[in-house]
Amino acid sequence: KVPEEISGITEIRIVDLRGSVLMLKNNPSFVSGISELDLSGISNGVYLLRITTGGNSENYKLVKE
C-alpha cells in the first residue's frame, strides 16, 4: 500500500536492482487515499518503489516475499 500522507501522485514506478522498470502507473486511482498495487506478476525480491508527485520523486525500498 502507498502511504496515505502522500497526495497528488502522478506516477508510481517499480524498478528492479538492475534499473529495469517492472511496473509503471501514470495518474493512479485511489480509494480512501490508498492505492493498492497488484504485484502478482513480479517475483519475490527487493525493488525500488518510486512515487512521483508533481516534479518531486521519493524512493522507497519494496520487499516482496
Higher pLDDT, 25 or 31: 25
Please name which of 50, 60, 63 lies closest in space to residue 9, comparing C-alpha atoms.
Answer: 50
Q: What are phi and psi of 4, to 5 degrees?
A: -65, -30
Query: Which pLDDT does position 4 carry in this prediction?
Result: 53
Q: How many residues does the chain have?
A: 65
Cell numbers representing residue 8 in the block: 497528488
Question: In the chain, pLDDT over 70 holds for what percent of residues?
Answer: 78
Higher pLDDT, 62 or 2: 62
Cell numbers representing residue 45 in the block: 525480491
- Does the reported pTM lie above 0.85? no
What is the C-alpha separation between 33 and 7, in angstroms, rounded? 8
